[in-house]
A and B are shown apart, each in its own frame.
Chain A
Amino acid sequence: MGAVFEGKGKEMSSSLTILFWILVVPGTIILGLVVSWIVRKVSALVQWRVGPPLFQPLYDILKLMGKEILIPQDANRTVFLMAPLVGLVGVLLLSLMLWRVLVSPTETAFIGDIIVAIYLMVLPSLALILGGSASASPHASVGTAREMKLVMGYELPLVLAFIVIIIKTAGFVGQEQQLSLYAISQHVPVLSISGMLSFLIALLCIQAKLGFVPFDIAEAETELGSGVLMEYSGALLALWKLTHAVMLVALPLFLMTVFLGGYGGVHLAGVWKFVAILLLLIFIGGRLLANRSKFMDVLALLSFIVVCILAGLGKYVLILVLLILIKNTNPRLRIDQALKFFWVYCGIAMVAAVILASLGYYYDINWL
């Protein structure tokens, strides 16, 4: 962290900080809607179609909000109504934790937050299982059963992937620090063999968590109608759509924080100084050289923020495009194929990665 950045951060008025934390939840939801448009648009372009307009996800949500809510006669009303709220709240909490780690880590992050984040990541899937099984529909029950098996399938390699990263981080930081997301985001585990392996497998697990195509077994439009969401209508369906939209922001952001070194401010320390000098040369010339030091500070801060945003955006878009391309180039797996894939192939690969990471930690070899 540049000293400049922290110094300016303290000077930032507290009302502005409060405003940021008030706006971060609606901001995340709006970002999620934009990202779900990107997913639909890129899918359309891959299929040589034109695709929906930018505000399409917003129109969908507004329309669903205005429609009638039907609750099946045999459904468990309380669980049926609560499940979408639980899902949305869980995923919003996850995104809030990630924003804290990315925006103001020194004040608000705590040790052990990666464990909390892993738990919060399960909440949307758990809510989906609850909602599906409460809706008293045969289609939804089949979907729920599949979702349950899928969760059991991908949680094993996903948690192993995070264990690899925790082992790798232990080599850099003090006792117990390796459990904090902030410490983990200070290096780039993906630049090692075990880190690369766990990144790729975590990407596939995220694909399953989002219900994207090779793993959309629980929704399975062609055989189950819409599976777990079969009986949801109106505003409740809109909540599910919002949950999915926020997941599209939070999960790639989580991968970025854990595997790719956050928004990369630290590793690009050299770059932001270079950009600052470049900006200085281009924009001010000789006239402002008299009060250069103050101006340089502001410029350095500005360029630091710009580089961070660009690097963070680049990494996020990289993960998102990988997810969309996997989604558009694969057929759906059967549930038994998906389970075998996650437990046998990904499981073995992840055990190998854990062993490699432990060896690397023991013998102090960073690239293992």
Chain B
Amino acid sequence: MWSLKKSVWVFHVNTGACNNCDIEIVNCLTPRYDIERFGIKLVGSPRHADALLVTGVVTRQAAPRLIDVYRQTPKPCVVFPIGACACDTGIFRGGYHVVGPVDKIIREEDPNAIIAFVPGCPPKPEAMISGVVKALSAI
């Protein structure tokens, strides 16, 4: 889909993050980075979204909600695990409350989901923008 690359609306899902990645996501919207230049927009409902920005290890409580949100997102959509925790659970690996990482939970629901990782603790806004661009040019 050609026009999907020109207009990506993202929805932000926090599945138990420490808030650091969330702050960096909001940082992308500031005049310094201004991702609206590329047509990227933060929306308030998963029904409007083309991409899910998932932050945090997926906790036991958050996993069913993450699946709900993924099912509520109209396809085609891309899932971006943002930060070290979301990518491979980071320092929380093996914790009693951790069922993640994100890609495992999403794959359980939809084996063919498009998932693009943006590692870092937290990832820089530049890294997120480059991740979105790379993922969309691969579609």
How many whole Å from B114's CB to the nearest CB in chain A? 14
How many whole Å from A80's CB to the nearest CB in chain B? 12
Whether A230 touches B47, Cβ cut-off 8 Å, given contacts A44-B34, A49-B34, A50-B34, is yes
Chain A residues with CB under 8 A of B60:
none
- Total inter-chain residue pairs, C-beta < 8 Å: 78
Q: Which residue of A lies closest to B38 (CB)?
A: A52
Looking at B3, B39, B72, the one whose CB has the most chain A CB atoms below 10 A away is B3
> Which residues from 3 to 47 on chain B have a C-beta closer than 8 Å to any C-beta of chain A?
3-4, 6-7, 9, 31, 34, 36-37, 39, 43-45, 47
What number of B residues sit within 8 Å (CB to CB) of A?
A: 21
Chain B residues with CB under 8 A of A59:
3, 6-7, 39
The 6 A-B pairs with the shortest beta carbon distances in the complex, nearest first, are A225-B44, A68-B74, A59-B6, A62-B3, A233-B47, A63-B3
Question: Assuming A49-B34, A52-B36, what are 14 further A-B pairs, CB within 8 angstroms?
Answer: A44-B34, A49-B31, A49-B37, A51-B37, A62-B3, A63-B50, A67-B50, A67-B74, A67-B75, A68-B75, A70-B47, A70-B74, A225-B44, A237-B48
Chain B residues with CB under 8 A of A222:
44
Q: Are A69 and B7 in contact, with the CB atoms below 8 A?
A: no
Summarize B's interface: helix, strand, loop or mixed.
Answer: loop
Sampled A-B contacts (27; CB under 8 Å): A49-B36, A49-B37, A50-B37, A51-B34, A51-B37, A52-B39, A53-B37, A55-B6, A56-B7, A59-B7, A59-B39, A62-B3, A63-B6, A67-B74, A68-B76, A70-B74, A139-B45, A225-B45, A226-B44, A226-B48, A230-B44, A230-B47, A232-B48, A233-B47, A233-B48, A233-B74, A234-B74
Interface flag for B91 (CB, 8 Å): no
